[in-house]
Structure 1
């Protein structure tokens, strides 16, 4: 599958349909990687096409999540809990994206002519895996038990510790 075909398949498609497409491409890439690990050479053109399509799908979902994310920090408790609930609903997708990126990394490892070609794919896999981890952590650290006792609109205390890593905030 070419890049253009992959993009065309996802244009105007619902998030759920993109997830289904991504799951199909993930299964295809994973099957080819498993065959390679068993000593069988997968059909290279099919592996390249499926890897491209998987990359396009995971990037599309990642962009959609980023576009739907709030532009500002939670300034009060009601916004904090609303944001935490929203993040919680996105965790399965973030995990799917991270898993897809690892499959892409494995595929690039088979197709790469040198180890240098693995660096961008490896960095992306680490970054997206970290995003899923931090989303789970943020939801877990939300003070759910205090939700009914905290005033909904007063300002949240400002975090004054180590500034957040900007690379993790994109």
Structure 2
């Protein structure tokens, strides 16, 4: 991991309509989007003290703001993504889900050629370090239920799907 002292990592806070979102950017791109205070505190405990750096995070915060205002449907930010090859395959498939649409865990499993792996898809979703940018909120249960977002935070999933017009 990059250290906070090398000056190429920092965070900022975007005050979204659904609450504060912490965005971490490093020299390669967006590294973390923390949707809850608990998630942010856990990440900071793991990484150590991070400097606040609004300039480094400006593009990410601007694009999040455009998303919540309904002005942006796709993100074009560089990502600093770390994960297993399986997780990266799942996350790439999530990025292919169009704005305002949803897929089931089973559909994602089938799309990556692993139809027996919907639970593993759920685990990859849970490990997604870049929610919204990698739209894990667009994955729902086979029966249409909003399940499995950030543990029990289906309220966040519902809010994001309302932003996209999928839910009213």
- Sort the TM-score into its range (normalised by shorter chain): under 0.3
TM-score (norm 2): 0.27
Q: What is the TM-score normalised by the length of structure 1?
A: 0.27
Say which structure is richer in strand: 2
Structure with the bigger RCO (C-alpha within 8 Å, sep 6+) is: 1
